[in-house]
Amino acid sequence: MKMESIHVDKETLIFTADIEDWYANLLRRCILREVPTLAIEDIEFKKNDSSLYDEIIAHRLGLMPLTTPLRDYNFKETCACKGAGCSHCTVKLTLKEKGPKMVYAKHMKSADPKVNPVFEDTPIVKLGKEQKIEFEAVAVLGNGKEHAKWSPGHCFYKYAPEIKITGVKNPEEIVKACPKNIFKIEGNKLIIVEKKIIDCHLCNACVEAGKGTVAINEDKDKIIFYLESFGQMKCKDILLNAIQTFEDKLDELQKLVKT
């Protein structure tokens, strides 16, 4: 497989690869459904005088992304504790606050310093005068096929665009028509900005403006893959885990076929 990295940081990964669409879709599904993350599953409210019901606050906490040191935790059902809940498969987060104040995610105290809300300024609830809230939450590993709160990010792919220019007479109109600024004018000639070509979403606005002088096609042999992390893990770790999960499933299938 030939791959080329276009953009990499903690939250976003964009790369091109000469893979077929079925494999790109399989990789996308592995990322969304199979890569495990930590999320709050159980909450015990000891006090809640706020204007929000326990269920509303619990729902908000469950959807809150948590940093996930994946190597430190096991699935609860496969842990050595046999599902009883230990420090290797569960993380406790506690909160005890009194109003008047806005309670944020950063006010929760985690039993593991490596596990904390990704966005610490996420509001949980606003407390009025003398109002109190106290709870103990338990986070566990899960994956997106069980519930979206365990999904590690958002990803999609598309075919790489192929743009051909022949005999353009109105370059200004084509540059103006493109919403992604794919083109520029140099020496009265229409030029494709190579670094911007991946942004093309095949809207064909340039084709219409060019009146037959611009053509756009999809390169069926080249995929552009986009991955955006919700913050639980780095994009690189998400991608590698998805690939490893796929390989493990193939090994399992091979064993079943042999038996």
Specify the pTM. 0.87
Model pLDDT, residue 10: 79
Model pLDDT, residue 115: 97
Q: Quick check: is 199 in a domain?
A: yes
The whole-chain average pLDDT of the chain stands at: 94
Task: Tell me: do 63 and 126 sit in the same domain.
Answer: yes
Q: Quick check: is 235 in a domain?
A: no
C-alpha 233 chain-centroid distance: 9
DSSP letter assigned to residue 196: G
Residue 1 pLDDT greater than 80, yes or no: no
Write out pLDDT tens, residues 28-39.
999 999 999 999
Tokens of 66: 């948590």
Which one of 150, 178, 208 terminates a domain? 150
Q: Are strands 12-17 and 3-8 parallel, antiparallel or unpaired?
A: antiparallel
Task: Tell me: do 122 and 196 sit in the same domain.
Answer: no
Domain count, the chain: 2
> What phi, psi does 105 have (nearest 5°)?
-60, -35
The range of the structural domain enclosing residue 209 comes to 3-33+153-227
Tokens of 89: 């498969």
Identify the band that residue 195 occupies on the pLDDT scale cut at 50, 70 and 90.
confident
Model pLDDT, residue 4: 87
Model pLDDT, residue 116: 97
Q: Which residue has better confidence, 188 or 174? A: 174
Model pLDDT, residue 217: 92
Q: Quick check: is 243 in a domain?
A: no
DSSP letter assigned to residue 108: -
Bridge partners (DSSP) listed for residue 139:
40, 91
Kindly state the average pLDDT of the residues 88-116: 97
Kindly state the average pLDDT of the residues 46-71: 96
Residue 88, domain CATH: 2.170.120.12
Q: Quick check: is 139 in a domain?
A: yes
Identify the band that residue 5 occupies on the pLDDT scale cut at 50, 70 and 90.
confident
Model pLDDT, residue 100: 96
Model pLDDT, residue 198: 87
Write out pLDDT tens, residues 117-163.
999 999 999 999 999 999 999 999 999 999 999 999 999 999 999 99
| Rounded distance between C-alpha atoms, residue 109 and residue 128, angstroms | 22
Task: Tell me: do 74 and 10 sit in the same domain.
Answer: no
C-alpha 181 chain-centroid distance: 26
Residue 259 pLDDT greater than 80, yes or no: no
Residue 236 pLDDT greater than 80, yes or no: yes
> What phi, psi does 146 have (nearest 5°)?
-90, -40
> What phi, psi does 65 have (nearest 5°)?
-65, 140
> What phi, psi does 229 have (nearest 5°)?
-80, 145
Kindly state the average pLDDT of the residues 218-237: 94
Share of the chain above pLDDT 90, in %: 82
| Rounded distance between C-alpha atoms, residue 197 and residue 189, angstroms | 17
Task: Tell me: do 22 and 118 sit in the same domain.
Answer: no
